Amino acid sequence: MVNGATDVIVVGGGVIGLTTAWQLAQRGVSVTVLEQGRCGQAASRAALGALWPPPMAHASAMQQMHRQSLWGYEAFIQSLQSASGVHVEYQRRGKLELLNSTDAVRTAEEQCAAANTSWPKLGDKPVMELLTDQQVPQYEPEIANAPHGAHLCRWSGQVNVDQLLESLVRACINSGVRMIEATRVERLESAADRVVAAHANGQRFVADKFVLCAGIGLPTISAGTDLAPPVTPVKGQALLLRVQKEAVRHIVKSGMIFLVPWQDGRILVGSTTEPKAGFDLTNTAEGIAFLINGATQIVPALKAAVVERVWAGLRPTGPKHHPVMGKSPALSNVFVCAGHFKIGIGLAPLSGKFMAELVLTGRTEPGMETFAPKSLSQ
Ligand SMILES: Cc1cc2nc3c(=O)[nH]c(=O)nc-3n(C[C@H](O)[C@H](O)[C@H](O)COP(=O)(O)OP(=O)(O)OC[C@H]3O[C@@H](n4cnc5c(N)ncnc54)[C@H](O)[C@@H]3O)c2cc1C
């Protein structure tokens, strides 16, 4: 144990590692986070903080888990704020998604019917509603063209990601988590079916249990173990616009482009999906043009917006775009939680809770077995 005290080492201080560490510490566990850079600076910092429940009428295990996480998001933010003392802006403005064909309208009708009968209620209004092309301007006057109408999902929310990450770091520290930054885990030392130490910066960090939340760093860390490490990077570019006058009121989505507006005139625009870009983190003319063209086609008034910032991030992506979550099949004290692709900010509360439960009690929550890590021999 590190200084005779650590029960659990969490490798990786992104949104997933931090949430897991905080949840474990709240249950009285002594936790150390080992982070190669600074906490909350990798994929998590690139996120736009959009939180929309998957609308599918027949949801997969992951989509159900995502929804479950979002139903509890407000409560999660409240307890995080009280643990950290850091304000985190969270709003449920709803998402207006433009429909692009009559087939899409039919699918949306089915989704609305399913959502309005099975999702938690939000006041008197339907949680999901179809809008005709005539109705769209009542909700979003600046939208240029919506020939097939739109669907409005009132459960969709947004969180300020910078504040979320700052708050998680502070909550961890306040709960007694040891945060060790600038410390890159190079390898795991194992004996029989257990990992006994993580090696980093020429030091040997010993613990009872290890939780690997290293995102795209997972394959490097698990090399030499029997753990199959199927997490790969999928690059995403995004940008920040600033407007003088309100341009959109809801999260607005059309195809791959989505706009996340904030009261102070910021509009986050996301995002490209570039699975072949490897570990490249540059912003390209093509990527930025895609975002700007997309945004200004949806809302022409955005042509006057100021481009305040552009960035790129590498989404840790598991097999079939599912996360890998669970206990290692071969190593009895190693757990993995990585590969949340495009929804890690949304999935973090439930991922952290499930992982803390699993690490402490060995209990796997229903549905989670779908994401169990595999060994190389499987
Ligand atoms: C452009 C873009 C927009 C997005 N928008 C949204 C959104 O609107 N909503 C949403 O829910 N999600 C969104 N996402 C996805 C979300 O950002 C990710 O799913 C999430 O951040 C993954 O979190 P993580 O903690 O697994 O990974 P990371 O944040 O990458 O954290 C992993 C950490 O592990 C550390 N690490 C790696 N290797 C080692 C090592 N060997 N030793 C020690 N530390 C190590 C890294 O430095 C890093 O800090 C977006 C992503 C991108 C790129």
Q: How far is the centre of ligand 1, averaged over its atoms, from the C-alpha of 248 (Å)?
A: 27
Ligand 1 center–CA 301 separation, angstroms = 32
Structure tokens at 295: 């945004």
pLDDT in tens, 205-251: 999 999 999 999 999 998 777 777 689 999 999 999 999 999 999 99
The per-residue DSSP string of 217-244 comes to GHHHHHTTSSB----EEEEEEEEEEE-S
Phi, psi of 107 (to 5 degrees): -65, -40
Q: Which atom of ligand 1 is nearest to the CA of 217?
A: 38
**Whether pLDDT at 100 is above 70:** yes
pLDDT, position 226: 72
Report pLDDT digits (tens) over 28-64. 999 999 999 999 999 999 999 999 999 998 999 999 9
If asked whether residues 108 and 125 sit together in one domain, one would say yes
Nearest alpha carbon, ligand 1 atom 27: 215
Distance CA 161, CA 18 (A): 13
Residue 212: which domain range? 2-47+163-229+320-371
Q: How far does the centroid of ligand 1 lie from the alpha carbon of residue 50, in Å?
A: 14
Distance from Cα 288 to the centre of ligand 1, integer Å:
21
Max distance between CA atoms of the chain, in angstroms, equals 67
Give the pLDDT confidence score for residue 182 in this predicted structure: 98
86 is a domain residue: no
Tell me the pTM.
0.96
351 and 209 fall within a common domain: yes
310, 356, 359 from 370: Cα distances, Å:
36, 18, 17
The pLDDT of residue 4 is 45
What is the 230 CA–ligand 1 centroid distance (Å)? 15
Identify the helix (H) or strand (E) that includes residue 182: none
Which residue of 9, 220, 315, 321 sits with most ligand 1 atoms within 8 Å of its CB, as the best mutation to test the pocket? 315
The answer as to whether 177 is a domain residue is yes
Domain membership of residue 181 (yes or no) is: yes
The C-alpha atoms of residue 215 and residue 144 are separated, in whole angstroms, by 39
Place of tokens 């959009």: 50
Q: How confident is the model at residue 354 (pLDDT cuts 50, 70, 90)?
A: very high
Number of independent structural domains in the chain: 2
CATH of the domain at 269: 3.30.9.10
Best residue among 44, 216, 239, 259 to mutate for probing ligand 1, ranked by most atoms within 8 Å of CB? 44
Q: Are 179 and 10 in contact (CB under 8 A)?
A: no
Average pLDDT over residues 183-197: 94
Phi, psi of 271 (to 5 degrees): -150, 160
Same domain, 340 and 356: yes
Nearest one of 48, 18, 83, 59 to 349, comparing CA atoms: 18
